[in-house]
Amino acid sequence: MNPISVRKMNRQDIEQVLIIETHCFAIPWTKGAFEKELKENKLARYVVAEVNENVVAYGGMWLIIDEGHITNIAVHPEYQGQKIGKEIVLGLMEVAKEANLLRLTLEVRKSNLIAQQLYRGMGFIISGIRPGYYHDNGEDAIIMWKDL
């Protein structure tokens, strides 16, 4: 496997991130949504993972007081199963530590057992359920937390 590098996301990455979005989500974010996050949302932090200078995954979070709320993580289907999702989470954890955050939280689909296993393996603990959280199909979200 080729080396993976994780870095902060910039506006030039948006086109490649949109390709990942359309492969991974029933209701993908728009170009405008990402531009707004990067340009206007002072609380937002995003990272991308590159393989051979191609963006193959990304993750984002919002810094809220002393907590990081992970908003989205996605890995292009051709690169899933190669521990790139773990690298994205580690990249977000590094950003969180630089910002002196104390905890991280996220929601994950109840059916996404692979992601849940990844998060548990990285020290996230299930703390609750958000019923009907996902708009596309009304699926419940599992709420997970990790102390840093």
pLDDT of residue 34: 97
Q: Which residue has the tokens 């993750």?
A: 59
> Please, which residues have CB within 8 angstroms of residue 51's CB and are 6 or more apart in sequence?
2, 3, 4, 79, 84
CATH code of the domain made up of 4-147:
3.40.630.30
Q: What is the dihedral of CA 125, 21, 34, 136, to 10 degrees?
A: -70
What whole-number distance in Å separates Cα of residue 28 and Cα of residue 18?
Answer: 8
Give pLDDT, residue 2. 76
Residue among 114, 110, 102 nearest 74 (CA): 114
Q: Which tokens hold the place of 124?
A: 């996230």
Q: At 10, which amino acid appears?
A: N
Residue numbers annotated as active site: 107, 119
- Note the maximum CA span of the chain: 40
Tens place of pLDDT for every residue, the chain, 148 residues? 679 999 999 999 999 999 999 999 988 999 999 999 999 999 999 999 999 999 999 999 999 999 999 999 999 999 999 999 999 999 999 999 999 999 999 999 999 999 999 999 999 999 999 999 998 899 999 999 999 9
d(CA 70, CA 130): 15
